[in-house]
Amino acid sequence: MYNDIDLSTIPEVDLFIDGQHTPAIAGDYFERLDPSTDLVASRAASGRLEDAEHMAAIAAANFSKWSTTEVTERAEILRRAKRLMPKYRNRLAQLMLKEIGAVGDWVDFNIKVAGEAIEAAVALALKYPSNSPIDEASNSYTVRQPVGVCLAIAPWNAPIVLAMRSVVFPLAFGNSVILKASELSPATHSLIAEVLHEAGVPKGVISVMTNAPEHAEEVIASFIANPSIRRVNFTGSTRVGKIIASLSAQHLKRCLLELGGKSPLIVLKDADLQLAAREAVYGAFLNQGQICMATDRIIVEQVIADEFIGILKEMVADLVSGDPRRKGVKLGPVASPSIASRLSALIEDALDKGATLISGTQRRGQFIDATLLDHITPMMRIYSEECFGPIAGIYRVDSPEEAITVANNCEYGLASAIFTRDLTLARSLANQLESGMCHINSSTVKDDPAMPFGGLKSSGYGRFGSDACVDEFTEVRWITVAPP
């Protein structure tokens, strides 16, 4: 995967403002460390409040030319960006490997779904063209228009697809966008702007802010308070999402929040156990489990639990964490020492309180093997806390009704899955699950940018994709005409 990629250089990225890379006003930089080697992965400009103010002014000044560009022209530019993605693949792969420890399959997943997000955004914008009447009458009609400058705050864990999703939907509707890059993937996120700029997105319409971790609060607060910023979308932790929601509310800014999850996968006694096990392993350990919709909880009927766990154990036997540069490594490191420490504490707490270790070994720095824990009970931290790592807990239940009770006994409600041959029962259970998305006989990890993606409860509000997201990035206005 990485044999033909130069990994010896250390990328250095500046802020992306007005179509060019520009150092931060103070001239400072910060370093992101490679989670596999602890060596410097990238250096990025450390933006501050004054940079945020300048960037917002540039984005506002360039909003008009993009918002008045015909939707068909915007669509062609964005589709050109999709066609350019393969050209950038090696650079994206290099950056994802060094900044977040991504394995090759995760890189390809990101690029593929990012392209699908572009296509979904374009299709939606063509369906709802700005400045065109929705319900025109001779003297009373409505128009749908772009809102202005949108702030997009994207996470590091799926840096290509989630950054592209956060910017391409507002761009397609004619907004200018500021991407606030993650401190853990600044170079990867900055490259997204290069793709869009090469495709023809005009100068000043797409900007990228990078900042050191200690300046994140200052930068985000400045953006949200800025009168030019009209909408905010954030993908990340529930803890930070609550802060952003509060800041946005203070300034009456509408925000779209896609937050944490603790996705349950329910396996009923009539399920295809091989299929359920494959999908559970995929959902739990893809990208080291660092996915908002990762399979965190495996809820299985007691009568088949031992057989099912035996299948799971066999499937995860070779999921040993290592440096993705090495051939055959399927599981990379977790993204930071703090994540590794938190995961180790969750495992230790569960084992101390009676859980059984089915698979997994001692943590090795930021390397944590695929870990399965059986006999999870409410007294354990892992019962209620989001893992966001290569850990899945197994919860034994006596009936489908108990499975629903256990699944819903959680503050999160992003994704869920049900495995059974009884599709009538499955649909009934799906309607009872408190999650924004439910998948029958497939993984909790499923992404179709044309469908409404988002959660319930502490997993956030608002939706990316489908008609459900149109109001997130446009305004509807009512206009009447009276005789002179």
Structure tokens at 403: 């499975």
Q: What is the DSSP string of 247-287?
A: HHHHTT-EEEEE----EEEEE-TTS-HHHHHHHHHHHHHGG
**How far apart (Å, rounded) are the C-alpha atoms in residues 413 and 417?**
12
351 within 8 A of 390, measured Cβ to Cβ: no
331 within 8 A of 321, measured Cβ to Cβ: yes
**How far apart (Å, rounded) are the C-alpha atoms in residues 234 and 460?**
10
Structure tokens at 293: 């919709």
**How far apart (Å, rounded) are the C-alpha atoms in residues 18 and 423?**
53
Q: What is the DSSP string of 30-57?
A: EEEE-TTT-SEEEEEE---HHHHHHHHH
DSSP 8-state class, residue 375: S
418 within 8 A of 440, measured Cβ to Cβ: yes
List the one residue out of 202, 185, 248, 205 whose CA is nearest residue 42: 185
Give the catalytic positions in this structure: 258
